Chains A and B, each alone.
Chain A
Amino acid sequence: MNLQPLYDVKERLEYAAVAGVSLLGEDFRLQRAAEGLKPLAAASPVFGKIDAGLTKLLDAPAERRPGLLLDVLALVDAVAYTQAKTGAEGELEPLPTGDGRYHQISYGQMTPLLTALTSTGGGRVEAVKSAWERHPRFFEDYRVLPALVKALGDSYGEMAELCARLLQKLGPSVVPALKRGFDPSGKKEMARRVEAIAAIEGKDAVPWLREVLPAAKKDVRVAVIRALGVDSGDTALLLDLAKAERGKNRDAVLEALTKQDGDEVAAFWEKELAQNGGAITFLGNTRADWASDLVARRLWDRMEQLLAQGGPMSRAGLAELRQWFSSVRGKSSPSMLDFWRWMDGKLADVDRLRGENGQALGFGAETTALLLDSLCQAGPGPLCGLCLELWGRHRDQPRYLPHAVVASLLTRPAAEVYDAFSPYVPTVRPLLGGAQKQALHNAVLTGLSEARWNNTAGRHEVGAGWPTAQPLDARWVKRLACAVWKTTMHDFKMPSPFGYGEHLEEYDIILTRLLDPSEPEVRADLIPYLRRRMAEAGSYQTYSRWLLALGGSPRGVLKDSMLKSGRPAYLYYIWGLLNDAAKALSAEEAVDLCREALNANYIRKEDAPLAQRAIPWTVEQLRAGRPFPDWSDWWNMR
């Protein structure tokens, strides 16, 4: 049955309702539609009813029309519903299976996460982080995963970067989701997808990268080219791209080419550096021998020319030379070692180099510091041998002593390192040659400043996270605690690692960084030292936290240190300190610290009345076995 007349009537009735039934008498289209329904009315009683309703409507006085119109419309609607089509013709295409997994996640759990991933506004990063900490599996759910991928394009960069990291942590299972709907001509979201895929799959991503490269544009193209660098099989392609690409894309090609190897690559860079000296910045990140040889050879030529000229260096020339030197970090090919030996022989000439105003550049010291930096980047290897060799040539000078300390920590037994270098840190004031000995002491401290205890990894590390050959000899702590000089090469105070506006001796920062707090011997030696220093220095926030971390307590020295600090305390900072102390110490000790803080009577004038109320109340709370109060509890006592 052709139902079009019914739908025509419905449409005209709806139109009449929108336009107003007062105009119904003039609506010839409705009358025509009603005429069209007549054949159907003759065929079926239900249409007959509609037809009768329409006739009644059109004949009715104006005041009855609204009700009659709705009655007819109700009937028309009911017939339209019962006559609704179902079904669909054609060959069904099977549904694809998607990505991720299905987890039973409630509305209350999923909504905050989806809202954070898909909306805008503050607090979203925190919401995603805390969801990840509590339920990492939620992120692989098939309803959440697409939102996570989409969030790679979030306008808030920190959010997008967080999502990229989370996707990488989820691993290979998310790669299909990252590839689904990938648009090679897209924006930042697509570029981040490429980076995530490359980070997850490594070399396995290369066929896909090659596939998308031809259509990739802008940021995506940069990311694809950069990612191609992981595979040594891409050299030919990258060399071709180096000829064709421009701007950011070419920079990406150069970056990718630094990860390649072989004669062709070396020849390319030889030519590239000859034409474009600025490209040296790209070689800074590679440790390959070809790059190391190339940089050493070029730098050697430059230095020879420079020393031969002998004249003052222009500002631009000096900047370019520094750029070249910065690319030697971590490089240790035989040519590079020879270059450093040659530099050692020429240090006197290098030290004489002057700037365009005639001032001394101190370039010798600068390059020596660079060698130490390079050693810290390279870790155990040929540079260690070189540094020990250079130190051997100048054993009585501080110049290579830091290098020797670092090289020894990386390669030699801990006791041997201690025996070799601890004599440079005297514990009794020398009668003669004090300045020379203090310079050597400072040089050893510079070497030790490159070492630190990594609590997560449970080991001592040097430079860029290289483990020391053996755990640091525990005798160092006692030695450093008793050292005559508490100085380093820097003669200024450093900002506290905890902030609070405190500045303190770098020596103590180096010392505390070296410590493995789980060693009872270390704690026993250091706690009295830090308590003493706390009273001397007045940086009570920093020293208190060091003491608490070591299982010690600032009880008994807090008051003196506060007074020594020379700056009345903010009550909020005092609350923070006491709160931290209450977590680590017994209630009795925490109570004593509260009293000391109050007795010091060295809290800002504005905060003093509140301190007089809040601290005694806190003492009562602690005595009653209750937890240390929140800051809001103190603040509300104003």
Chain B
Amino acid sequence: MELTELLILREAPSPAAAENGRKLSGRGSFSARRKAEDGSLYWAECAGSGKNPYRVSIDFTNQDAPVCRCSCPSRQFPCKHALGLMFEMLAEKEFETADIPQDVADKRARQAARAAKKEAAGEDGRPAKPKKPNAAARKKKLAKQLEGLDMAERMVDDLLTSGLGTLAGSSAQTFNKLAKDLGSCYLTGPQTAFTRIALTVRAVQKDPAQADAAYAEALRLLVALRSTIKKGRAFLGEKLEAGDYSAEDSALFEALGGVWKLEDLRAAGLVRERARLVQLSFDVSFDEAKKEYIERGWWLDLDAGDLWQTLNLRPLKALNYVKGDDSRFDLLEVPALYLYPGEGDRRVRWDGATARPLFPAEQAALPALAQPDLASAVKLAKGKIKNTLAPKFLAVLAPIGRLGKLGEEFVLEDPKGDRILLRDRPEDGPGHACTHRLGMLPRAISPGSALFGLMFYDGRDRTLCLHPYSVVTPKRVVRLQY
């Protein structure tokens, strides 16, 4: 594995941690730099604030997932000392060859034993099973959730009876308090929806000029919530009746606030073996309702041609302890790709992946994975967004016939001559505005390219538009964002 600055930034829990590591390296805090003869382990001492230096090492036994160890008490992982050691390696500082320290050798042995045990279990043909649920507890939880749904429905009814416009002052506080109670009914999905509605309505009070758009958004949320309540009640009722308490391949599970574990996804059959993925775009946004950063990657599956999204959620309270995600420019070979329930651009996760450069032939084949034409993409998008529980956009890769402008509007024309307007999705905010960058691309777009973006409904003129994020050419993916 070639150590690059990009890799260090990716390993770092945050850019600030990487910067601190860089500073440690820059000011010569490392001493006694050593490496194993086979280059699989690098270690050194790093001067800290204590009397004794920290002992820090990086184990490259698994090249795709280096293991960082440090004697410092930091809760960040990897800590700045491990990142600093990576910068020492990047700067090609001298490392003396030495025998691997005993403590690291012991840890390696224990790790190898664990891996062997895991592998042996896999050879038996018995994949890790989800833990058996505690039926009584699950039953109690379902009952509580049903109770919560009744409360949520009453809240919706009350809100609409008095009108969205009245959601201010003390009524907003009461509303927020009730929304919090939904959390104790295991309904974090509806709870978040109510918080979002309150925030949207509050935006009207701050800027009355945005009233139409904000109320429309609040109503969309209410429609989705009503649908969640209705479908959720039926879903939970059936489960309670059937005594089935396991997670299911249904978007409702997450809409109600369920959290998927990889073993549950596997048990539900939501897994694909040996996927090859290329990232088309990456962006970060802040969810005010959940107080968390959402790091979103958009991926193209080279074999199936599907578009997937990864979401790395970093709550504000735990920002320093949850590793950040970053743009990826290489190809990932994923042994097991776990899919979340849903339709279209589904969320995916994986446990481990191998990165390698994208071969020119693979790159050249990317545009061909686009939809055959705009009409097909439009049909898919309309099919998805009319579902009340689905997000109101669909990621698509559309073939480019021509890109151009009509007055101030950017337009995509497919090879068949069909057109779609290219616009920034207003809900994503100014941080995601990148359509204008199509007019700033340093080179003309080569024939046979495709445009990746999010298709969405723009209520202002009742038009289906595309928010472009990347141009996929036979030679490279040109990102308009990150």
Contact = CB atoms under 8 A, between A and B. Distances in A.
Contacts of B9: 106, 108-109
A70 B160 contact: yes
A583 B27 CA distance: 11
B437 A143 contact: yes
Given A81-B382, A102-B476, A142 B164 contact: no
Contacts of B28: 583, 627
Interface in B368-424: 374, 378, 382, 385-386, 388, 402-407, 409-411, 413, 418-421
Contact of A627 (B31, B49, B282): B31
Interface in B403-449: 403-407, 409-411, 413, 418-421, 437-445
A95 B438 contact: yes
A78 B405 contact: no
Contact of A630 (B27, B374, B438, B443): B27
Interface in B103-152: none
A99 B440 CA distance: 6
Contact of B161 (A65, A84, A100, A617): A65
A13 B241 CA distance: 37
A18 B164 CA distance: 4
B165 interface: yes
A78 B388 CA distance: 8
Contacts of A322: none
Contact of B464 (A73, A84, A632): A84
Given A17-B222, A67-B156, A627-B31, A92 B382 contact: no
B324 interface: yes
A66 B160 contact: yes
B165 A19 contact: yes
Contact of A94 (B49, B324, B329, B404): B404
A63 B153 CA distance: 12
B51 A17 contact: no
A622 to B, nearest CB: 11
Contact of B219 (A17, A22, A67, A134): A17
A638 interface: no
A100 B153 CA distance: 55
B157 A93 contact: no
B402 A92 contact: yes
Interface string B162-183: 1111100000000000000000
A87 B419 contact: yes
Interface in A39-63: 62-63
B98 interface: no
Given A17-B164, A632-B49, A88 B156 contact: no
A550 B222 CA distance: 76
B227 interface: yes
A624 to B, nearest CB: 9
B163 A98 contact: no
23 contacts: A17-B219, A21-B161, A22-B161, A69-B160, A71-B226, A73-B219, A73-B223, A74-B223, A80-B462, A84-B382, A84-B462, A86-B419, A88-B411, A92-B404, A92-B405, A94-B404, A95-B439, A97-B443, A109-B6, A110-B482, A143-B437, A629-B47, A633-B48
Question: Considering the complex of A and B, which 9 residue pairs feature the smallest CB-CB distances, nearest first?
Answer: A20-B163, A92-B404, A98-B440, A66-B160, A107-B482, A106-B327, A78-B386, A70-B226, A84-B464
Given A20-B162, A70-B160, A107-B326, 5 more contacts: A66-B160, A85-B463, A86-B464, A99-B440, A627-B31
